[in-house]
Chains A and B, each alone.
Chain A
Amino acid sequence: MTKLLDIQALLLTEMNTDPALCLANAVAWLDPFWDEFADEDDDYDGDGGLGMALRVIRSSFPTIYVQVIEQLREGHSWDDIDRFVCREIEKLGIPLENLEWMGYGIPLPSYGVRLEEPDFYQSHADLIPILAPFGIDATSDADSVDVPECAHRVGQFIAEDLEQHPDEHYRQLSWLMQWLFSCSGNSTIVYVVKRFRTEMRLEEERLSSRL
């Protein structure tokens, strides 16, 4: 047994003497998930929310990552790790009931507008005449309100044009457009999916105009 331990000590010494082996040893010790998250654009969805959580804490919360590695090495279960990460993230002031929610980013109250949703107009009837010039008819009984493709783009142009207007009333109109067409850049009042689609469409148009 002593000889085996001697051999292990010899191997460790040799490993730490060679720069490449020492680097490999350091990675295995401190960052064993390096290969799992090598591709930063890859949406890792293994192990439910835990894979995403490990990716996030590795890049943004190294103190928690170090403790996770320590606990895994001590033999803690994945359930323990799950609870630990939630608890530590909450200590940072970010409410996180379950790791499943981690993939959606920092939770924020959302006051964004989804113009396709008929229920929206029941509580905001005063907006119906404002949206009518954009081709949005919220008075029909359809399950979904039809919003023309160009409406968001036109709304964004109006918002940008009036944002710096000297008259405060026009600036307020700009803010209204920013809220309605999700182009304010303020996460709490932007309906994310629609905003994302709008940005993607504008980007595609910009790229195609260059070709």
Chain B
Amino acid sequence: MFDAGLTLTSLRDCLAQIEPVQLLGMELLKQHSAHPQGHWFPAGIPRNQLVDAVTELVGYTRRCAYAAEQIRQLTSVPLTSISIIEYGL
């Protein structure tokens, strides 16, 4: 990967440009920001919207868990050009 011209900085910049995910549940939270007094979550939202939001959220959670598992299995890359002086012996 780093042989193809991608540096740590450019990789970080690339990742930083990814737009935050917009899920229906998050939109519902923003649209119904006027909660019943003292409550943390909105009320009175049609059940079909809640079902769609839950379905999307559960699917997103599953995809994230899968992606994390895939990343966890990547072979580690030794960063020989970086010195961490805190651990210098």
Contacts and interface: CB of A to CB of B under 8 A. Distances in A.
Interface of A: 5, 8, 12-13, 16, 19-20, 22-23, 25-31, 34, 38, 40, 58-59, 62-63, 65-67, 69, 73
Contact of B58 (A12, A20, A29, A62): A62
Contact of A62 (B20, B40, B51): B51
Contact of A23 (B23, B42, B53): B23
Contact of B50 (A13, A22, A27, A30): A30
B54 A66 contact: yes
Contacts, number: 74
Interface of B: 20-21, 23, 25-26, 28-30, 33, 35, 37-38, 40-42, 47, 50-51, 53-55, 57-58, 61-62, 65
The 9 closest A-B pairs by CB, nearest first: A19-B20, A26-B25, A29-B41, A22-B26, A62-B55, A66-B50, A62-B54, A30-B25, A26-B26
Given A23-B26, A26-B23, A66 B33 contact: no
B71 to A, nearest CB: 16
A113 B47 CA distance: 45
